[in-house]
Amino acid sequence: MEIIEVETDSGVYKCKRPIGLMAIKHIGIITKFATNNPIKDVDEEGNEIVRMSLKDQERFVEGFEIWAEKVLPNIIKDFDSTNPHKYEEMPGEDMMRCYVTVATYSPEVSFHGQ
């Protein structure tokens, strides 16, 4: 079992890397709701940045809501005794950090055509 450690303000959570049917759900949600209209911009220092359009932000949040309900409880429950909070008691910002960390950890998903 591969463990993904997620650092949050509450502490470090351990999550199992999604495998099998859970990986299919995870990848399906991530790819369905991945941003597809990135906006390229320049910050105050002249560096190119990429940000999400309003529509992509809405898609991202919708994907997070589904992922937090269908995937997160299954990849975190084995660590309830050592994680900062049990799934049912996790702050939303900790759930979001898990979502982003696990999604970007997955080698099967490419964001923004990279």
> Can you give the pLDDT at residue 108?
53
Question: Is residue 114, in this structure, part of any structural domain at all?
Answer: no
Question: Is residue 62, in this structure, part of any structural domain at all?
Answer: yes
Question: Is residue 73, in this structure, part of any structural domain at all?
Answer: yes
Radius of gyration in angstroms for the set of CA atoms belonging to the chain, rounded to a whole number: 15
Question: Is residue 111, in this structure, part of any structural domain at all?
Answer: no
Number of structural domains in the chain: 1
Question: Is residue 112, in this structure, part of any structural domain at all?
Answer: no
> Can you give the pLDDT at residue 110?
45
Domain span at residue 27 reads 3-105
Question: Is residue 22, in this structure, part of any structural domain at all?
Answer: yes
Question: Is residue 113, in this structure, part of any structural domain at all?
Answer: no
pLDDT in tens, the chain (114 residues): 889 999 999 999 999 999 999 999 999 999 998 877 788 889 999 999 988 888 889 999 999 999 999 999 999 988 989 999 999 999 999 999 999 999 888 555 444 444
